[in-house]
Structure 1
Amino acid sequence: MKLSVFCGVSVDGFLARPDHSLDFLDTDDQEPHGFEEFYGSVDVIVIGRKTFEVVLTFGEWPYGSKPVVVLSSNPLNLSSIKDAVVEQISGEPSEIVTQLKARSFKHAYIDGGITIQRFLASGLINRMIVTRVPVLIGSGIPLFGPIPRDISLHHVATRTFKGGLVQTEYELNARATP
Structure 2
Amino acid sequence: MRTVYAFLMTSLDGYHADADGSVDWFVSDPEFDAYTRAQGERIDTIVMGRRTFELMASFWPTSDGIAEDPVVAGFMNDLPKVVASRSLTEHAWGPTTFVADDLAGHLAGLKQDPGKEIAVFGSSTLLADLLPTGVVDELRIAVAPVVLGSGLPLFAGAAGPVALERTDVRAVGDRVTLLTYRPTAAG
Structure 1: any 5+ residue segments left out of the alignment?
none
Equivalent in 97, 102, 116 of residue 107 of structure 2: 97
Tell me the TM-score normalised to structure 2 length: 0.78
Q: 5 Å matches for 1:1-178?
A: 1-27=2-28, 29=29, 31-32=31-32, 34-58=35-59, 59=62, 60=65, 62=73, 63-79=76-92, 81=93, 84-101=94-111, 104-111=114-121, 112-173=123-184
Tell me the TM-score normalised to structure 1 length: 0.81
Tell me the distance in 1 between the aligned counterparts of 2:181 and 2:40. Answer: 17
* Deviation by residue 1:19-41 (Cα, 9 ceiling, x = unmatched): 332111043x4533622333321
Shift in alpha-carbon separation, 1:54–1:151, aligned structure 2, 3 A: same
Tell me the distance in 1 between the aligned counterparts of 2:110 and 2:172. Answer: 35
Tell me the distance in 1 between the aligned counterparts of 2:170 and 2:114. Answer: 33
Number of the residue aligned with 2:69? none
Tell me the distance in 1 between the aligned counterparts of 2:152 and 2:40. Answer: 23
Tell me the distance in 2 between the aligned counterparts of 1:70 and 1:162. Answer: 31
CA contact (8 A) 2:84 2:103 kept: no
Q: How many pairs were matched up? A: 171
CA contact (8 A) 1:125 1:174 kept: no
Shift in alpha-carbon separation, 1:75–1:57, aligned structure 2, 3 A: closer
What secondary structure sits across from 1:37 in the alignment? helix
Percent identical among aligned pairs is 23
Return the structure number with greater helix share: 2
What secondary structure sits across from 1:114 in the alignment? helix
